[in-house]
Amino acid sequence: MVFILVAAPEGADPALAPFFQGLEIPGGGHSSCCSLADCRPAAVRLGRSEREVFIDRRSFGDGAPDAWVAVPESAVLYGHSNPTGFAVVCWHQGRILCFVPASGT
């Protein structure tokens, strides 16, 4: 087994760590969405028939597509409080694990 430690993004608010650590993959049997290191505020738009988020390399690293990516309905955490004020996406190994809409949307 290999463990890779990834640091939180520069300027991350440590007070938000419990929020990020508490995110669980919908229907994932209490599996974590990741952590502060994999989740970021995201630009959101309504695509042709679904919600899309911009997954950029600057925020998510070299493996990110630098493109708009459809949010799978199965990844959306409805009714979850979001203290960040922004939509949050958890991107890991080329896929969206969790998406938390901005509060009030």
Is there a domain that residue 23 lies in? no
What is the phi/psi pair of residue 24, to 5°? -125, 145
Is there a domain that residue 28 lies in? no
Q: Give the number of residues written for the chain.
A: 105
pLDDT tens, position by position, 39-49: 888 999 997 88
- Structural domains of the chain, count: 1
Is there a domain that residue 48 lies in? yes
CATH of the domain at 84: 2.40.50
List, in order, residues 6 or more apart from 58 with CB less than 8 Å away.
Answer: none
Using pLDDT thresholds of 50, 70 and 90, give the confidence band for residue 25. confident
DSSP for 12-33? Answer: --GGGHHHHHT-B-TTSSS-B-
Give the integer Cα–Cα distance in Å for 51 and 13: 26
Lowest-confidence pick of 32-36, 52-56, 94-98: 32-36
Runs of H (alpha helix) within the chain: 17-21, 57-60
Using DSSP's 3-state secondary structure scheme, residue 105 falls into coil
pTM of the model: 0.74
Domain span at residue 64 reads: 38-105
Give the integer Cα–Cα distance in Å for 102 and 42: 10
Among 12-21, 34-43, 66-75, name the most confident range: 66-75
